[in-house]
Amino acid sequence: AQSVTQPDIHITVSEGASLELRCNYSYGATPYLFWYVQSPGQGLQLLLKYFSGDTLVQGIKGFEAEFKRSQSSFNLRKPSVHWSDAAEYFCAVGGGSNYKLTFGKGTLLTVNP
């Protein structure tokens, strides 16, 4: 069965600092991996996804993520955080013909001025 672990429930960073959100997955084949962001009361916005190819994936809003098969990880990074990045971030894994996604429980990001 596929699963996703986001070890950090809540992270606080200062504006301008770098950010790394951790994601570890379990999947029996080559996974499709996603990062989403959710602002309070809103739906999920796709930041980036990995299907195949280059293991360093660039996304929107200056985010990137690196797929490391040996570590079963897909960590999200941003070199300089902005106050508007404060939100909840979800990592997800899926694949196969029906393309079902399994989500982590999310990491809440707080940005201090």
Partner 1 sequence: SQTIHQWPATLVQPVGSPLSLECTVEGTSNPNLYWYRQAAGRGLQLLFYSVGIGQISSEVPQNLSASRPQDRQFILSSKKLLLSDSGFYLCASDIPGYTFGSGTRLTVV
How many angstroms separate the CA atoms of 51 and 30, rounded? 8
What is the pattern of x (binds partner 1, CB under 8 A) and - over residues 20-49? --------------x-x----xxxxxx--x
**Cβ-based nearer residue to partner 1, 43 or 113:** 43
User: Is residue 50 within the footprint of partner 1 (CB under 8 A)?
Assistant: no
| Contact of 13 with 21, CB cutoff 8 Å | no
Task: List 50's β-bridge partners, or say none.
Answer: 33
Q: Is 104 in the site for partner 1 (CB under 8 A)?
A: yes
Distance CA(86)–CA(81), nearest Å, equals: 9
Binding characters for partner 1, 64-83, by CB under 8 A (x = yes): --------------------
Q: Which residue lies nearer to partner 1 by CB, 1 or 113?
A: 1
> What is the number of helices (H) and of strands (E) in the chain?
0, 12
Does 101 participate in binding partner 1 (rule CB under 8 A)? Answer: yes
- 61 is a site residue for partner 1 (CB under 8 A): no
Instruction: Show Cβ contacts of residue 112 under 8 Å, excluding neighbours closer than 6 positions.
Output: 12, 13, 14, 15
Residues near partner 1 (CB under 8 A) are 34, 36, 41-46, 49, 90, 92, 94, 97-106
